[in-house]
Structure 1
Amino acid sequence: MRILVVEDNRTLADGLAAVLRVAGYAVDVVHDGVSADAVLSAESFDLVVLDLSLPEMDGLEVLRRLRAKRNTSSVLILTARGALDERVKGLDLGADDYMTKPFEVSELEARIRVLLRRRAGLHSARVAFGDIELDTTTRTLSAFGQTLDIPARELSVLETLLFRAGRVVTKQAIIESLAGFDEDLSENAVELYVSRLRRRLAPYALTVRVARGLGYYLDRIID
């Protein structure tokens, strides 16, 4: 899952990005409204964490422009501006949630998980496919009650496929879910992660299939 943090306090922005990366998200950071508007016009994100008091362009204007372009990225406003009329305005402009500073990181992470599940059309923190189950709260994978040890990058690929189970996921979508715009991740790397995933999933009668020219999708292995 790919997140954009829009925050002019660089210390806070870097701290948030570090926490979210440890949680397994691909995170990009910008520090002003004009940069945010430009990035959101050119890149795709699952979630935007948006401050309102931004230099060069106010966060509410960034949000207004985002929705005017029919961009459906989830938006979590994170700001010191906690007055009721500010919250109402932000929600009316299309924000999905609103938190005021100071805040607890654990609550922010929980709200992000809820928004990402909602975006994927999920109603539970646990996502199952065949005999495997992913707990999106702890980001642990299990099968038959046993936790499976799986590297972070492969787990992120699997999470992207699980969140879109039944649909083909393009290589580009997988790349975007793994890396920010300052990280060069090749299609060959995605193919390597998918190959390793196939070996890990085989004991559970699951595989990652190729839709030629389109991308990948999870499927069951039927004898």
Structure 2
Amino acid sequence: MRLLLVEDTEDVAEAIAARFARSGTAVDCAGTLNAARGFLEVQTYDMIVLDINMPDGSGTELLRGIRGNGHRTPVLMLTAEFGIETRIEALDDGADDYLVKPFDLRELEARVRALVRRDKGEKTRAIAFGPLTFDIAGNSLHMNGVVIDLTRRELALMRVLMSNRGRVIAKERIFDQMFSFDESDVGLNAIEIYVGRVRKKIAGSGVSIRTLRGLGYQLVNDG
């Protein structure tokens, strides 16, 4: 999953980014609205977490621009204001949810998961494919009920493949879901390495990762 975090308070941004990174989410942090617009011009996101009070304007300005351009990416607003009018304005401008500061990072994670599931049409907290089950909330992969030991990057890869099970996913799209702009030193060939590792760990499950040269990867049920 790729998330854009628009937050100017550095320690808050670092804490949020670190929390999501532990679950394999690629997070791009923008400290201004202009920086966020730059990210949005070149990258598609699964989720946007947007602070209302930014140094170069209100987050609602960016929100209106996103919705005005026809983008339906889920947006969760952060606000230090308790006023009902501020929250109503954000929702009316197209926000999908909001959190009032200070908040528990666990609640932020849960709300983001819920919004992404809703956007992708996933009604439950788990994705099943053959004997494999990906627990979205727990960020874990199970085979016949037994947890498979995967690193956070391997889990991020399986989250993408399980969410698109049966469909061919381009290597570039997988890369975008796993790595942020801050990780520019990572090459595209890293995907091949992670695919190779995961193949070994799910061997014998009846589910495999098929390589389609020039097209990408496909999670298939061999049974």
Shorter-chain TM-score tier: over 0.9
> 2 CA distance for matches of 1:164 and 1:178?
15
- What residue in structure 1 maps to residue 130 of structure 2? 130
- The total of aligned residue pairs comes to 222
- What residue in structure 2 maps to residue 118 of structure 1? 118
**Paired residue secondary structure (1:216):** strand
> 2 CA distance for matches of 1:69 and 1:96?
16
- What residue in structure 2 maps to residue 192 of structure 1? 193
Offset at residue 99 of structure 1 (A): 1.0
Offset at residue 162 of structure 1 (A): 0.8
> 2 CA distance for matches of 1:12 and 1:194?
33
> 1 CA distance for matches of 2:88 and 2:172?
36
> 2 CA distance for matches of 1:95 and 1:210?
38
Identity of aligned residues (%): 38
1:15 lines up with 2:28 in the alignment: no
Counterpart amino acid of 1:17?
Answer: A
> 2 CA distance for matches of 1:220 and 1:8?
45
> 1 CA distance for matches of 2:95 and 2:165?
26
Q: Is the 8 A contact 2:30 2:36 kept in 1?
A: yes
Offset at residue 170 of structure 1 (A): 1.5
- Deviation string, structure 1 residues 17-57 (Cα, Å, up to 9, x no partner): 11111122111111111111221122111111100111113
> 1 CA distance for matches of 2:173 and 2:131?
25
Offset at residue 199 of structure 1 (A): 2.2
Offset at residue 193 of structure 1 (A): 1.2
Q: Which moved more, 1:194-203 or 1:173-182?
A: 194-203
1:76 lines up with 2:73 in the alignment: no
Q: Show structure 1 runs of 5+ residues with no match.
A: none
**TM-score, normalised to structure 2's length?**
0.94
> 2 CA distance for matches of 1:61 and 1:167?
36
**TM-score, normalised to structure 1's length?**
0.94
Q: Is the 8 A contact 2:2 2:47 kept in 1?
A: yes
1:105 lines up with 2:105 in the alignment: yes
Q: Show structure 2 runs of 5+ residues with no match.
A: none
> 2 CA distance for matches of 1:30 and 1:79?
16
Q: Which moved more, 1:3-12 or 1:203-212?
A: 203-212
- What residue in structure 1 maps to residue 64 of structure 2? 64
> 2 CA distance for matches of 1:31 and 1:190?
29
